[in-house]
Structure 1
C-alpha cells in the first residue's frame, strides 16, 4: 500500500486548521457564513503557504449541506466529494496545461449551466499566471458579468504576471510567509499526533530551513523521518539535510576572534567536503550574528525575546561579551549584504571564504573619524619609530599628483586667505631662508619693516615664542622669551581644523576635523562660541569637549571657555515663508511687483 506523505495526510480541512494567514481565513469564513460571495478571488503568495488548501475549504463551506456556514462540516456528502475531488460542481484546473484560448472558451460554455448538486459552481485555477494573454481576454467579460452562483478562485505564485484588467475584477488576497514560531508550532502538533519524541532544537532547524513554507517544512520532516529511529534529534536533522552544527559555528567564531586566517580557510574547505548547504549556512550565520549583537547590547534581559533553546542561549550568552558591539554590527551587515552574491556566485565556497576572512580582519580597519577628506591613511608604524622620526621627514602616502595639500599647507593657505592683500611693489621679494642658515642682513637700512613670517603649523603652534635672535643682538641664550599673546592667526578656525588634521596625521590626539568643519565658530575674547547645525553634532562635540580644549591649548588660541549654542530647531517651509513675508526689507519689493514668497529652504 502506498504511504501518504505527511503533507497530504495532515492537509487542513477547515479554516481553523490552517497555519497562519489569519486575515484571509477571517474574510473568507465570514463571506461563507453571511453568503456574501464575490464573483472572483485572486490568492497570491509563495509556494506552500496554503493557497489551494484555503480555496478547497472555501468551496466546501459554500456547498456544505449546512450552508451558509463559517466552517465546512466535512461529514456531509457534499464535503466528502469535494475532499475526494469528485464533486461535479467544483473543478480544479491546472493553468499550466490548460492555458490556451480554446480552453478558456470551453470553460466559458460550461459556466452558463446552473449547479447540479451544490449551491455554487466553483472553478479553482491553480498556477493561473500560466494562462495566455488570449485566454485572459476570453475571461474578461465572464468575470465582469458572471452568472449567478459561479465563483472563480485564481491561485498563483506570480501575481505580477496577471493583467491589470483581471486583477481589478478580483478580490486580491496576498499570502504571507509563515514565521519560524508558527512553523515550529505546526510541526510540533504533527509530531505529537504521530506519537514521536523530538528535540525542540530539531524542530527549530526544520522551521528555519523551510523559510516560511508549510509544505517545505512537512517535506523536510518526511525526509528526516525516513532515516528511521524513534526520536527526532538535532544531530540527525543536520546530518540528513547537510547543515552545519553548533560546534562548527563555535569553531568559526573562535577563529574570527583570534583572526586565524588559516583556521577559517580550513573550515571553508571542510564545509565543501561535507556537502553543507552554503546558502543556508550563510542564513544561519546571519541569524547567529544578530543574536550575538542583541545579547551584547541587551544582556540577559533580551534572551526571552530571542526564542532560543536553552543550549543555544547558553552558548551565545558566553560568546557575546568576547566581541565588541561594532565588530558584531559590521559583521552582521556584511553577511546580510553578501547572502545573494554568495549563493549566485559560480564558486560559492571561495565567496564564503572571502566573507569570513573580511569578518576576521574587521578590527584592523582604520576608524572613519580618523580619515581626513582628500587624503589616504598613512601606513601604521611602531610608536617608538614614530616618535623618533621628525615631522618634516614624513613620507607621502601616495604620489603628489593624486594627493591633496598637507594640513599644514591648508592652514597656511587659510591664514593667507584672511590676510588683506597689499599692492605689489617693484622691488623683488627676498627668498625665504632655509632651515639651517640665518636670514641675510640688508646692506643698508630700509624704511619699511618687512612683515613677520607666518609660523608653520607642523613645526610649532602659532602661540610658540619667536626664535631667539643671533648671538650678540639680544639677551643671552639662557633667558626665556616672554609668552606672546594669542595672535589673529591663532583665531582662524580653518587653520585650527588643519592643525587638528596635522596632529592626527602625526599620531597625536585631536578632535575629528570632519566634525569641526561642520561647526560655526566665533571668537569672543577668551570664549569660543560654537554653533552646531543639529542635535547629533551637538552631542558629538559634548563628548569630545575635553579633547577640544587640549587641542586649543596646544594650538595657542588662548581660549579659557567653550560655549555651545543650542541649534535652532528645523522649521517647515510654511513657517519660513511666513517669516520671510514679514521682513521689512522685502515689503517694498513685494508691493512694487505685486509678488509673494512661495518657496523657502533652510540652509
Structure 2
C-alpha cells in the first residue's frame, strides 16, 4: 500500500464527494444542470479547501456526454479524459509559470476557436494572483465578453492582489476552511477505505493540526501512516508530529497553581527538548484554558460542546474547580494575546517561558498592581486634610439613656441628636444653647453673621438653623472683633475667662501677576529670548531665536525668514508654548502675531517678471539695444 500521496489517490470526482463547501457545490451543480454558465468564475480561499478540485468537477459536468447534468458520470470518454488531464478543450494553466502578457495574448487567440471535442472550452487558471498587471489588462475584454462556448475559472489564495476590474467581471465564490468535524469525518472515511484501525484521539489530533485544510490533513495522515503500524495510535501521532500530550499540560497546570517557577521552566525545557511544535503547543494551551473556563462556568453541561472524553472531562473539571474563574479567564486571554508574540519573536523559547512565568506569578503581579494603584490614589502629606481645632467649652455629644428607646425622651420630646439629618457627622448643641452653633460657626463650618433683617444670628430658632445655611453671610461680612464675639453663646452664669475672643479671619492675599515681576528694566525681545532660555523651553520653541521680534501697539510681532521657518514657530505645539511664554513675560494683555518676511515669501514667475521689467536699469538696457526678455529664472536665495 502506498501512502505517499493520499491526496491524489482520494481526490473527489463528484460534487457529493467533496468535503465541506456545501453552498458552492449547490450553486455550481445547479448551474451545470440548467446549462447556465457564467463567463468567468473566481474561487478564493486558503490552501487545500477544494478550489481546483471543484473546478475540474465543474468542467466535467459541463462536458459530460450526459450533459446538462448536475453530476459528471465519470464513465464517458469526456469525463475520463478530463480526469486524466488530457482533455483538449479543458486547459489548466499554472499562472506562476505562465503569467506574462504573452501567455495572456496566446490565451485570447486560442479562445476564439470552437471546441474540438467537448461542448465547452474551460480555462482553469491556478494561482491566478501571479498574473502580471499587463496580463490582467489583456484579459479584461475577454473576461467580459467571451465566446458563448468558453468560460474561465480562476483559483487564488490572495484575492487582494486582483484588480477590481477583474473581480467585477467574475462570479466570486469564497471557499471556507473546513470545520474540525468535517475533517474528522473525511479522515475517518479514508482510513476505513484503507482498512486501517485507528484511535479517535489520533484522528482528532490530525484534524486539529490540519487547521481547516484537507490537503494539509491528508499530508499529515500519510506522514503518520508511513510509520507502518497496524493501528493509528494517538501516542504515535504526537511523537511523529511533535505534539505535546495531556500530561505536559496538566504538569504545567500544577506548576502554575503552586507558583513553582522552577517547575514551569522545567516544563518549557521539556517542550523544547522533545522538539514539539511551539505554535500548536500554544494553541492547545489556549484550548485547555477554554475548557476549564466553560467547565467552571457551566459544569457538565459544557462537556458535549467541548467534545471531550469522559476521562478528559473529569480531569479538566478537577482543574476548573481548582483555579478561580477570573484567574482562568486572565490566563486564557494572555495565551491568545501572546500567541502571535511568541511565534514572531526572535527568541520564541524565551518568549514562551516569559508567558508561562507571568501566568504562574499572575496573582503576585495583580497584587503589586493594586498596591501601586492604591499608593498613587492616596493623598500626599501636603494634601492631607488638617484636623479641625478643638473648640473650648463645648459640651460633649449626648447619647440616649440605656433605659429609653432610640429617638425618644421622657415626655415624648425628640432628643437633640435627632435634630440633624446627618447623625454622627456633626457635634450637637447643648439644650440651653439650642439654635446656635458653638463659637459662632454655621452648619457648614463658616462664621455666622447677622440675618437679612439685621437681628443677630444667635436669636434664630432651631428650625431656622437647619442643614440649609445658604442664607448665612461669609466671614468677610464681619467687620470687627466685637461682631465676632457677639456670636458666642451666653449662658446664665457666663465665665468671661473661659470664652476667649475669636481671631479675625485673615483676608486672602492679592493675586500675583502671572508674568515675572523680578525682571528689572524694560521688557524687550532680547530679554524675552533670555527668559525663554532660562525657562528651559528652547526644545519646544524651535526657530524662535532666529525670529525678529518687535513690540507694536500691544502686540509682539515675530517675523520669520520663510514659510518653513514660520511652520516651526507657529506649529500646533510650539505656538501654544510661545503664547504662554509671551503672556508670562510681557503680561496677559500682549498678543502674539507671527508673519513672514517680505524676502522670504515665494513669488510667482509673473510677479518676478513684472519686477524685472519695471526695474530702471533693465528698461535702459532694453531701450538701448532693442532687447526683450525671453525667460526669467529666480535665484536660489530669493
User: What TM-score, normalized by structure 1, do the two folds share?
Assistant: 0.64
Q: Deviations over 1:315-356 (max 9, x none)?
A: 212321111111111111111111111111111111111111
Alpha-carbon separation, structure 2, partners of 1:216 and 1:486: 79
SS, match of residue 91 in structure 1: strand
Whether 1:89 aligns to 2:89 is yes
Give the structure 2 partner of residue 182 of structure 1: 182
Give the structure 1 partner of residue 287 of structure 2: 287
- C-alpha deviation, 1:312, in angstroms: 2.1
Give the structure 2 partner of residue 150 of structure 1: 150
Give the structure 1 partner of residue 363 of structure 2: 363
Give the structure 2 partner of residue 15 of structure 1: 15
Whether 1:405 aligns to 2:366 is no
Matches within 5 A, 1:181-200: 181-200=181-200
> Would you say the 8 A contact 1:144–1:169 is kept in 2?
yes
Alpha-carbon separation, structure 2, partners of 1:117 and 1:2: 35
Distance verdict in 2 for CA 1:302–1:3, change over 3 Å: closer
Segment of structure 1 superposing worse, 116-125 or 349-358 = 349-358
Give the structure 2 partner of residue 168 of structure 1: 168
Alpha-carbon separation, structure 2, partners of 1:84 and 1:212: 27
- C-alpha deviation, 1:274, in angstroms: 1.1
Equivalent of residue 376 in structure 1, options 372, 386, 400: 372
Matches within 5 A, 1:444-593: none
- C-alpha deviation, 1:377, in angstroms: 3.6
Report which structure shows greater RCO (CA 8 Å, sep ≥6): 1
Whether 1:299 aligns to 2:296 is no
- C-alpha deviation, 1:66, in angstroms: 0.5
Alpha-carbon separation, structure 2, partners of 1:189 and 1:74: 21
Whether 1:44 aligns to 2:44 is yes
Matches within 5 A, 1:79-118: 79-118=79-118
Give the structure 2 partner of residue 389 of structure 1: none
- C-alpha deviation, 1:302, in angstroms: 1.5
Distance verdict in 2 for CA 1:363–1:83, change over 3 Å: same
> Would you say the 8 A contact 2:4–2:222 is kept in 1?
no
- C-alpha deviation, 1:311, in angstroms: 3.2
Q: Deviations over 1:86-126 (max 9, x none)?
A: 00000110011111100000000000001111110000000
- C-alpha deviation, 1:308, in angstroms: 1.8
Distance verdict in 2 for CA 1:267–1:4, change over 3 Å: closer
Q: Deviations over 1:60-105 (max 9, x none)?
A: 0000010111110111100000000000000110011111100000
Alpha-carbon separation, structure 1, partners of 2:236 and 2:3: 23
Give the structure 2 partner of residue 329 of structure 1: 329
> Would you say the 8 A contact 1:201–1:309 is kept in 2?
no
Larger Rg: 2
Give the structure 2 partner of residue 346 of structure 1: 346
> Would you say the 8 A contact 1:465–1:484 is kept in 2?
no
> Would you say the 8 A contact 1:178–1:214 is kept in 2?
yes
Distance verdict in 2 for CA 1:221–1:3, change over 3 Å: closer
SS, match of residue 153 in structure 2: strand
User: What TM-score, normalized by structure 2, do the two folds share?
Assistant: 0.60
Q: Deviations over 1:352-407 (max 9, x none)?
A: 11111111222334479x96xxx9345xxxxxxxxxxxxxxxxxx57xxxx77359
What's the Cα RMSD here? 3.0
- C-alpha deviation, 1:256, in angstroms: 1.1
> Would you say the 8 A contact 2:3–2:222 is kept in 1?
no
- C-alpha deviation, 1:488, in angstroms: 6.9
Alpha-carbon separation, structure 2, partners of 1:8 and 1:133: 33
Distance verdict in 2 for CA 1:258–1:73, change over 3 Å: same
Structure 2: 5+ residue stretches without partners: 399-415, 427-465, 468-638
SS, match of residue 302 in structure 1: helix
Distance verdict in 2 for CA 1:8–1:486, change over 3 Å: farther
> Would you say the 8 A contact 2:257–2:360 is kept in 1?
yes
Give the structure 1 partner of residue 273 of structure 2: 273
